């Protein structure tokens, strides 16, 4: 069994699956109402959601939109619509999976120490761009366009860019046996 896991073609996907399963296990316990972990998780998510909403509102104002931000809600004044920046809008799973993948793959610790924060900053930037774009679509396009961009287009684009970062790391550190 250990010999099989030394084969990079098997080990890398196995690590990705293991990271994903560990995330899901953590999330199962973090999503339990009334537990200490659940309450801490909810507090963390609320602070991240509110921060994303605040920055999104600030960017929209710079772009000339009239918005009001309260907690994790972005109110689009001219259209009378609003968007709630909820847990799944924060890219927390993407960040966790990115960090765990890079940490578990080959590569020098010194390189991981600069690449992980840079990658996290990239994920935050990508996600903020996604939120700003979705607010613009919500304010200016039919509901069907928002639904399509929210559920398909921006999700695929966001995770595609994250996958490219992980693939870049893997190619850089697994190409040389």
pLDDT one-digit tens code per residue, 10-64: 666 777 788 889 889 999 999 888 999 999 999 999 999 999 999 999 999 999 9
Mind listing the pLDDT tens digit for each residue in 79-102?
Answer: 999 999 998 889 998 898 889 888
Find the helix or strand (DSSP H, E) in which 22 lies.
helix 8-30
Give every CB contact of residue 157 below 8 A, 6+ residues apart in sequence.
130
Give the pLDDT of residue 2: 46
Q: Which residue would you say has higher pLDDT here, 16 or 177?
A: 16
Minimal CA–CA distance to 149: which of 137, 140, 139?
A: 137
Beta pairing class for 81-84 and 73-76:
antiparallel
Burial-class residue 54 by CB neighbours within 10 Å (0-12, 13-18, 19+): middle
Domain locations in the chain as residue ranges:
2-174
Check if the beta carbon of residue 134 is closer than 8 Å to that of residue 154.
yes
Residue 176: pLDDT above 70?
no
Sign of the CA dihedral running 148, 154, 160, 162: negative
* Rounded CA separation 88/151 (Å): 11
Percent of all residues in the chain with a pLDDT value above 70, rounded to a whole number: 91
Minimal CA–CA distance to 165: which of 97, 77, 88?
A: 97
Give every CB contact of residue 161 below 8 A, 6+ residues apart in sequence.
122, 126
Residue ranges of alpha helices (H) inside 75-175 are 92-104, 109-140, 143-148, 154-174
In the numeric block, which tokens belong to residue 101? 């993948």
Q: Which residue would you say has higher pLDDT here, 16 or 137?
A: 137
């Amino acid at each position: 069994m250990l010999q099989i896991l030394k084969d990079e073609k098997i080990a890398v996907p196995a690590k990705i699956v293991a990271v994903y399963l560990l995330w899901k296990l953590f999330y199962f316990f973090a999503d339990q109402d009334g537990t200490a972990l659940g309450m801490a998780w909810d507090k963390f998510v609320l602070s991240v959601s509110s921060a994303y909403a605040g920055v999104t509102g600030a960017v929209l104002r710079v772009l000339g939109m009239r918005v009001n931000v309260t907690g994790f809600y972005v109110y689009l004044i001219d259209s009378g619509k609003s968007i709630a920046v909820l847990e799944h809008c924060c890219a927390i799973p993407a960040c966790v999976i990115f960090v765990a993948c890079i940490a578990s793959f080959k590569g020098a610790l010194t390189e991981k120490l600069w690449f992980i924060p840079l990658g996290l900053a990239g994920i935050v930037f990508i996600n903020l761009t996604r939120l700003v774009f979705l607010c613009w679509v919500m304010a200016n396009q039919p509901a069907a366009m928002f639904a399509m961009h929210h559920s398909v287009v921006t999700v695929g684009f966001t995770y595609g860019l994250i996958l490219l970062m992980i693939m870049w790391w893997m190619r850089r550190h697994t190409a040389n046996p």
